[in-house]
Amino acid sequence: MQDGSAPRGMLPLITALVAMGVASMALYVPSLPAIQADFGVEPADTQLTLTLFFLGFSTAQLLFGPLSDRFGRRPIILIGLVLYSAISLACAFAPGIEALQIGRFLQGFAACVGPVVGRAVVRDKFDGPKAITAFAVVGTALAIVPAVAPMLGGFLQAHIGWRANFVFLTLASLILLATTYLKLTESVPEKNLDALKPRRLVRIYGGLLSSPFFMGQALASSLAFAGFFAYFTEAPFLFIGEMGLSPDMFGLLMIFTVAGYASGSFLAGRLIPRLGTRPVILLSFVFLIAGSGLLYLLSDSLTIARVIGPMSVYTIGFGMVIPGSMAEALRPFPRVAGSASAILGFFQFFCAALTSLLVQPLYDGTARTLALVIIGVALFTVVQFLVLTRNGPPEARESAA
């Protein structure tokens, strides 16, 4: 652990790497109805491109985490960025919906390298309150990206077309690749030569999965994440398809939900040093349940305010739960931070994929079924956290390495 020794500029770079995955999801969301019309397919076919991205993003983390423990953070990030750039360019020229679906799965597979390895770098370089502050900085940036990306994506859709989104992602990833090559230093003091041995991976992942505290913290962030991305999957069809908003106007509306997320993340960074992590996480659950419940109560009529208002409340809780739960999940496992970060990221995006798949066939042009899904997720988040984390964290498991 090199607490406080992180070189100047490392945290902004890591934040950009972590944000890359969110940008890959959010930028093209205003284009989903246009992609549907362009290829002449059903809404579920275009929504599947988002679900497949989640699946690729989640499963690849189980590979990139151990790879970064074995070979170091820097080379794995560089390789991932090269792959991401090539796949993003291929998505820009997809000839049909099937090719785009495959491309999005592969893009998600490559995009996960920034978040999973970036979180491990934060764990390498920061500890204690500084780690929570670093995760709060990353969380605030993650709130800004989903606001800016749909606005930019809506502008590109309105003036150029949906393929421009993937050209932009290609160019942005090439810039990030060059910056990473020049600026990112290796953060692993000693590479773990046994990190990829099958028996060791089974032991590590088994140890993490069997830790109630780790699972409680991991699922707290993952389920809150999943609830938001259930909304993310349905939102363009509600606002653009049902209410008739333009893609760029839809992008502007993301400011409200993302402002809620940023506010929650900011509050977490201020309250955790004073109150402790667990009370702040419990407080975040109040906002999750209140927002999802309000969405259901107002779902009898579909208007912008009746959807955006409740989801803004929900995202305050989402922003509050992320920094503390992520830091607490990784804290007891310093020697296997890459693998622990991989499991954490896997659950976040796998849960998002499940809720995305769940809401697709239930879509009925209203927010009612969406609200029921989010309420269920929020309630399960609270119950599992109270049960799994009631005995507190385990001792740091150095033996897991």
Greater confidence (4 vs 387) lies with 387
Q: Give the C-alpha distances (Å, rounded to integers) separating 279 from 71, 260, 268, 271, 285.
A: 38, 19, 10, 9, 10
Average pLDDT of span 227-234: 87
Structure tokens at 201: 């991976």
Structure tokens at 389: 């984390």
Q: How confident is the model at residue 2 (pLDDT cuts 50, 70, 90)?
A: very low
Q: Using CA atoms, how far apart are residues 319 and 330, in angstroms rounded to an integer?
A: 18
Q: Using CA atoms, how far apart are residues 286 and 394, in angstroms rounded to an integer?
A: 27
CATH architecture of 10-184+196-390: Up-down Bundle (1.20)
Average pLDDT over all residues of the chain:
85
3-state secondary structure of 362: helix
Q: Give the C-alpha distances (Å, rounded to integers) separating 95 from 65, 162, 163, 369.
A: 33, 13, 11, 33
HSE-CB at 217 with a 13 A cutoff on CA atoms is 27
Buried b (16+ CB within 10 A) or exposed e, 1-15: eeeeebeeebbebbb
CB 127 within 8 A of CB 1: yes
- Tell me: pLDDT of 1 over 50: no
Residue 349, pLDDT score:
81
In this structure, which amino acid lies at residue 339?
A: S
With 0-12 CB in 10 A as exposed, 13-18 as middle and 19+ as buried, what is 380?
Answer: middle
SS3 content of the chain, % helix, strand, coil (to 5): 85, 0, 15
Q: How confident is the model at residue 397 (pLDDT cuts 50, 70, 90)?
A: very low
Model confidence over 127-172: pLDDT tens digits?
666 776 777 677 666 667 766 788 888 889 988 999 999 999 999 9
Model confidence over 316-344: pLDDT tens digits?
999 899 888 888 887 777 777 667 777 88
For every residue of 90-122, DSSP letters joined together read HHHT--SHHHHHHHHHHHHHHHTHHHHHHHHHH
Task: List the one residue out of 367, 256, 237 whose CA is nearest residue 314.
Answer: 256
Max CA distance (Å), the chain: 58
Lookup result for tokens 């998600």: 108
Lookup result for tokens 């908003």: 245
Residue 9, pLDDT score:
64
